[in-house]
Amino acid sequence: MEKPKYGLHIILFLLTFLTLTFQEETLNLPFLQWDWIRAQFWERYLYSIPVLGILFCHEMGHYLAARYYGIRATLPFFIPLPVSPVGTMGAVIKIQEPIRDKKQLFDIGIWGPAMSLILSVPCYLIGLKYSKLVPISELSQSLGSNPELFQVRFGESLLVAWANQLVLGPFDANLYEVEIHPLAFAGWVGLLVTAINLLPFGQLDGGHVIYAVFGEKYRTWIYYLFCVFLALSFWNYAWILWGLLIYYFIRVEHPYVPDPTYPLDSIRKVSGIAILLSLVFIFTPSPMEIVTAAGPQPSLGEELWNGIRDLFVRQN
């Protein structure tokens, strides 16, 4: 039996805390002034600590479910990424022996996203209390007329758009944008991570859940669902990369897992369908967009939608 590598887990955890807090400057920390390091820490710790907590609880949801069934699994491996604005590629655990049936698969698959969803929503809502609205005209003014200047704007899911209006609104999203507090940004990142994990393909958490709930018959229609997912590339080209990752590495279909002795009970089926449907509300079609002095740069999908809308308006 492989011994746990506690040292490696701790080192990756600490490195991820550094990349979440200091972003690109992580590699330069030994050469930076202490005053800057301290100021950056106090500015960013309300982002980095909640994100670590969300990722940790997500993976421990999988880990504890696996251990409940006596299945060997590693502790979470955190993945540091010294690149802004997020600062991490998440965390993973490794299941070290086969999952015996679809009931175990369901429980191991659902507890990760369930935990991160439970934590991310209050993080975002509480963080919004400390956020503020900024007129888009001020943003355009600050960017000036220099075409080389830009700002990254974070996209909205249905849940995020509703929460913004509930806590800070009502306001016109065409005139104002939300300057979110670090705690709210942690919740936003948690929701994004949860949504990506809930994509219903292959070895992703959503793939485990949808396969466990619908069984082998899901193989007759899962590729149609994958084609719908690929259409998201019209809104954001990053989904092309995700489509390739899913098709060639994560896989569209889930590997075979035997049926349980007794079929999934109704509570599990309802819970599985509910968490899959939550993807509709937390998924962000265009997670990030570039804003210049001319305003947000629309994606191909947005340009098509705007053209159809303008054509409809002219005809009426």
pLDDT per residue over 31-61, tens digit each? 999 999 999 999 999 999 999 999 999 999 9
pLDDT at 79: 96
**Which residue did the predictor score with more confidence, 121 or 293?**
121
Q: What is the mean pLDDT of residues 240-268?
A: 94
Residues 225 and 270 in one domain: yes
Residues 108 and 171 in one domain: yes
Q: What is the mean pLDDT of residues 99-109?
A: 97
pLDDT tens digits, residue range 153-173?
788 899 999 999 999 989 888
**Which residue did the predictor score with more confidence, 206 or 156?**
206
* Residue 308 placed within a domain: no
Given a contact cutoff of 8 angstroms between Cβ atoms, the answer to whether 140 and 293 are in contact is yes
pLDDT of 297 strictly over 90: no
* Residue 193 placed within a domain: yes
Residues 20 and 58 in one domain: yes
Q: What is the mean pLDDT of the chain?
A: 89
Which pLDDT band, with edges at 50, 70 and 90, does 70 fall under? very high
For 51-65, 67-81, 100-114, 231-245, which range has the lowest pLDDT when averaged over its residues?
231-245
* Residue 314 placed within a domain: no
* Residue 119 placed within a domain: yes
* Residue 207 placed within a domain: yes
Residues 65 and 173 in one domain: no
pLDDT at 112: 97
Residues 132 and 58 in one domain: no
Strands (E), 230-308: 288-292, 295-296
* Residue 149 placed within a domain: no
Residues 211 and 255 in one domain: yes
Residues 40 and 177 in one domain: no
pLDDT of 316 strictly over 50: no
pLDDT of 215 strictly over 80: yes
**What dihedral do alpha carbons 304, 309, 311, 313 form, nearest 10°?**
-170
For 35-39, 136-140, 278-282, which range has the lowest pLDDT when averaged over its residues?
136-140
Tokens in use for 96?
């070290």
pLDDT of 136 strictly over 90: no
* Residue 181 placed within a domain: yes
pLDDT at 169: 84
pLDDT at 309: 47
Residues 192 and 83 in one domain: no
Given a contact cutoff of 8 angstroms between Cβ atoms, the answer to whether 174 and 306 are in contact is no
pLDDT of 304 strictly over 90: no
Which pLDDT band, with edges at 50, 70 and 90, does 137 fall under? confident
Residues 130 and 266 in one domain: yes
What are the angstrom distances between the C-alpha of 209 and each of 68, 215, 217, 267? Answer: 18, 10, 14, 13
Residues 53 and 186 in one domain: no
Residues 124 and 32 in one domain: no
pLDDT at 291: 65
- Among residues 28, 63, 98, the one where a domain terminates is 98
pLDDT at 314: 53
Q: Output the CA angle 265-266-267, nearest 5 degrees.
A: 95
* Residue 22 placed within a domain: yes
pLDDT of 283 strictly over 80: yes
- Whole-number Å distance between alpha carbons of 300 and 307: 11
Residues 116 and 188 in one domain: yes
Strands (E), 74-181: 77-80, 88-92, 132-135, 151-154, 176-179
pLDDT at 145: 57
- How many separate domains does the chain show? 2
**Which residue did the predictor score with more confidence, 305 or 208?**
208
Residue 44 domain boundaries: 1-98
pLDDT at 154: 85
Percent of the chain with pLDDT strictly greater than 70: 86
